Copies of this chain bind each other. A is one copy, B any other.
Amino acid sequence: MHPFDRALILGGSDECAVGNTSADYANMVGPFGGVTAATMLRAIERRSDVLGEPLSLTVNFLGPIADGAFAIVVRCVRTNRSTQHWYAEFTQGGISMATATAVFGLRRPTWGHAEPDAPWVAFPEDYDVLDFPAGIAWLQNYEIRFVSGGLADIDGIARERSETIQWIRDKPARAIDFAALAALSDSFYPRIYRRLGRMLPAGTVSLTTYFHADGASLAAQQSEPILGVARGQSFGLGFFDQAACLWGRDETLLATSHQLVYFKT
């Protein structure tokens, strides 16, 4: 079983999923936020009464999640004809660690277009796979190839722009699904590192992902690398935001994502 699927194993009931954090996706403090978001999405996806596919997911991070057992209380707030609204709460020892709201629904064919052009980059194979230091577990489970704005730019020199472009996929390769896409939207290193040219304490406070691809379009991506583009828009007063686009190798805009991040200079 793939480590990502192992991390998303849930027991319990429809109303209260239970699981354990995975050492494979440990971050400096607690698990990688992306895997927490994916786990909360999965707790909804696996519900027997789920309607359609994920359209939108917002996860707020309330405090550092401890390694070990957790429970996710999942409540269907409302089911409409074509959309369904969810609230979920990730708890440990009765203390809330994360909340999620999600919109699921049925998609139907309409006119469509991705308005930004996919960035003009070379094939993933043309970029080196990053060799991460062994210290951070979750990074060992991703194959990241920086196109621009990589870790080499964290060199003590402040920069004017925060954009990073990266090819990324699970390691070992794994066919992408909505949960993996939710995790990928949190896979960029903090934009403040890139602006200030150094690492500093930072943590996501709120993460929203809009899923634009349907299941069939996601399946067509197979396990090919995803092209991610992330940039910050506003930095100040202890917080910054990040806007990201996730593209398939076939130039399909699979998801757009935003997050608000706490930082300490």
Contacts and interface: CB of A to CB of B under 8 A. Distances in A.
Interface of A: 55-56, 58, 60, 62-63, 77-78, 80, 83, 85, 87, 89, 95-96, 99, 101, 103, 107-116, 161-162, 195-196, 205-206, 208, 210, 212, 214, 231-239, 241, 243, 245, 253, 256, 258, 260, 262-265
Given A115-B161, A206-B208, 7 more contacts: A101-B206, A110-B236, A111-B196, A111-B235, A114-B234, A212-B234, A212-B239
Contacts of A210: 206, 234, 239, 241, 258, 260
Nearest to A231: B115
B101 A263 contact: no
Contact of A78 (B58, B62, B205, B260): B62
Contact of A235 (B80, B83, B112): B112
A122 B25 CA distance: 50
Contacts of A196: 111
Contact of A265 (B63, B101, B111, B243): B111
Contact of A77 (B99, B107, B111, B116): B99
Nearest to A257: B258
Contacts of A62: 77-78, 80, 85
25 contacts: A55-B205, A55-B206, A56-B60, A58-B60, A58-B208, A62-B77, A62-B78, A107-B237, A107-B238, A109-B237, A110-B238, A110-B263, A111-B235, A111-B265, A112-B235, A113-B235, A114-B233, A114-B234, A115-B234, A210-B239, A210-B260, A212-B234, A233-B256, A241-B256, A243-B243
